[in-house]
Amino acid sequence: MCPMRGYRTIIRSCDDPVAEWINERVRAIRVCLESGLPEAALTLIYSGVDTVGLLDAPTKKLDADRNSFITWAEHYVAPLLQTIDGDKVRAKDLYSARCGILHVSSPTLSDKEVEAYVAAQQAKQASSMKTKKAHGS
C-alpha cells in the first residue's frame, strides 16, 4: 500500500514491504499519542524494536530475543537518548522498560526480574522442544 496524499511517512517507498510496515507502525504510534494512549504507543515502539532487531540480526536467527533487541538498540537508539539528568541510556535499560511495558504494564522492572523472565521463557521453550521431539513433531 503506497502512502496516500497527506500521509506523513518516514520512508518514501511503495515497493518495500519493510518500509510500508515502518510507515504503518509510525502512523499507529502517532494515533496513540494523539489519542492520549502513551502506553499503547510504547507497546508499539518496543515491539517494533523487537521486529527491526530481528531483521538486523544474522540470517540464521529465526526469533527476536533479548540479544537482538539490545544489539539493535545499542547501535541505533541508545546513542540518541539521555536521561533527564543527562546520563547515557543503556540498551539494557531500554530492554528492561520494554519487558515492563509489554509484560506487566509498568515501565520499571529490575534487572533481576528481567533475568527471571528471560530464564522462564527459555525453560518454557526448551520444554516445548522436548515435547515436540518426544512426539516426533
Give the whole-angstrom CA distance, residue 37 versus residue 6.
Answer: 23
Q: pLDDT in tens for each of the 137 residues of the chain? A: 454 444 455 566 667 888 888 889 999 999 999 999 999 999 999 999 999 988 888 888 888 888 999 999 999 999 999 888 899 999 998 998 898 888 887 766 566 666 666 666 667 777 766 776 776 65
User: Is residue 121 situated within a structural domain?
Assistant: no
For residue 114, what pLDDT is reported?
62
From residue 81, how far is each of 52, 64, 74, 84, 93 by CA, in Å?
Answer: 18, 23, 11, 10, 11
- Residue at 5 is within a domain: no
3-state secondary structure 41-106: HHHHHHHHHHHHHHHHCCCCCCCCCHHHHHHHHHHHCHHHCECCCCCECCHHHHHHHHHHHHHHCC
| CA distances (Å), origin 110, targets 16, 61, 62, 92, 116 | 38, 27, 27, 11, 10
* Residue-number span of the structural domain to which 91 is assigned: 37-110
- Whether residue 51 lies inside any domain: the answer is yes
- 74 in any annotated domain: yes
Q: Please report the pLDDT score of residue 116 as a whole number.
A: 67
Rounded Cα gap, residues 20 and 26, in angstroms? 10
21 within domain boundaries: no
In a domain, 137, yes or no: no
The number of domains in the chain is: 1
Cell of 97: 522498560
25 domain residue, yes or no: no
**Which pLDDT belongs to residue 4?**
46
- Of how many residues is the chain composed? 137
Q: Which three cell numbers stand for residue 15?
A: 515497493
